[in-house]
Amino acid sequence: MSTLTEAPPPLAPAPAAERPPRRRGRRTPYWLLLPGILWLLVFFALPLVYQASTSVQTGSLEEGYKVTWHFAAYWDALHAYWPQFLRSVLYAGSATVLCLVLGYPLAYLIAFRAGRWRNLVMILVVAPFFTSFLIRTLAWKTILADGGPVVGALDSLHVLSVTNWLGMTDGHRVLATPLAVVCGLTYNFLPFMILPLYTSLERIDGRLHEAAGDLYATPLTTFRRVTFPLSMPGVVSGTLLTFIPASGDYVNSELLGSTNTQMIGNVIQSQFLRILDYPTAAALSFLLMAAILIMVTLYIRRSGTEDLV
């Protein structure tokens, strides 16, 4: 009843014309991509090109600008503003390290120890987002006010003498010092560290801890050899999500710092919006972008996680 014969294999593959038309349009993905990608090209990529060209222009607001391949703008900008560049890297770097040190225990707590409080703690981490970050940053002015309880406590615990020695504070003040700026940056970007850390910690199978314990690892060794390596993707994306915005930030420096704590973001902002020296501002902005892209690329290469998107 059931019949089977093996048909001889066709001598040549069927010519393309005979093949039925594909059911799904080949162009569908392009139509789906078109509007969004166009948006990004016009309003993200094209501006970067414009900015690059602006950076090598000379002229003035009144007479208009011309592209004169004035690369000296880069040299001048770097020469004039290298302290701000350096500060950006230092402040953002310290804030990133602080975020990791502060954020890791909290992410660990939510992932493994919070139990039925997990959702509540999670909400508490995310909820501050809904209060404008500027309002929250202004609150640090109150918290770190001169002679306030926080500063008093830091002083009596001799934390301030350590930071004084490091050049982070000056005397008995915290406000308007580098420490305040780093504090603000840390606070602002802490959730961006905690969330990726939590995501990668949460994926770790709890039985791995038991297995490590079973194989004679102390809790500390378990953490060093098992938990931390497995959370590396979270550490990498968390540090990037913290460092990148922190290095370009100027809000914390402006609100909590002084003229001596200006970062590169402050310079770009004021050159663009107040001094209206567009070529210098564009050159600085371009340098910042290049520096960050290079650092990020090196970092991703080193840590071996290519797929962040």
The verdict on 103 binding other proteins (CB under 8 A) reads: yes
The verdict on 6 binding other proteins (CB under 8 A) reads: yes
> Residue 99 burial (CB < 10 Å; 0-12/13-18/19+)?
buried
Closest CA to 183 of 166, 162, 197, 169: 169
Q: Is 21 left (phi over 0), alpha (psi -120 to 50) or beta?
A: beta
**Cβ 223 to other proteins shortest distance, Å:** 9
Q: Binding mask 263-292 vs other proteins (x if CB under 8 A, - otherwise)?
A: -xx--xx--xx----x--xx--xx-xx--x
Is 243 in contact with 90 (CB distance < 8 Å)? no
Give percent helix, percent strand, percent coil of the chain, each to the nearest 5: 75, 5, 25
**Cβ 105 to other proteins shortest distance, Å:** 4
The verdict on 173 binding other proteins (CB under 8 A) reads: no
Q: How far apart are CA 127 and CA 122, in angstroms?
A: 9
Q: Binding mask 221-260 vs other proteins (x if CB under 8 A, - otherwise)?
A: -------------------x---xx-xxxxx---x-----
Tokens of residue 296, six digits = 């990020």
Nearer to other proteins, 76 or 141 (CB): 141
**Cβ 167 to other proteins shortest distance, Å:** 23
The verdict on 12 binding other proteins (CB under 8 A) reads: no
Q: Is 101 left (phi over 0), alpha (psi -120 to 50) or beta?
A: alpha
Nearer to other proteins, 167 or 225 (CB): 225
What count of Cα atoms within 13 Å lies in the side-chain half-sphere of residue 306? 0
**Cβ 305 to other proteins shortest distance, Å:** 13
* Contact set for other proteins, span 175-214 (CB under 8 A): 187, 190-191, 194
Kindly state the number of chain residues that form the binding site for other proteins, as judged by CB under 8 A.
98
* Contact set for other proteins, span 56-95 (CB under 8 A): none
Among 12, 17, 44, 302, the residue binding other proteins under the rule CB under 8 A is 44
Q: Is 304 left (phi over 0), alpha (psi -120 to 50) or beta?
A: left
Q: Binding mask 107-146 vs other proteins (x if CB under 8 A, - otherwise)?
A: xxxx--x-----x-x-xxx-xxxxxxxxxxxxxxxxx-x-
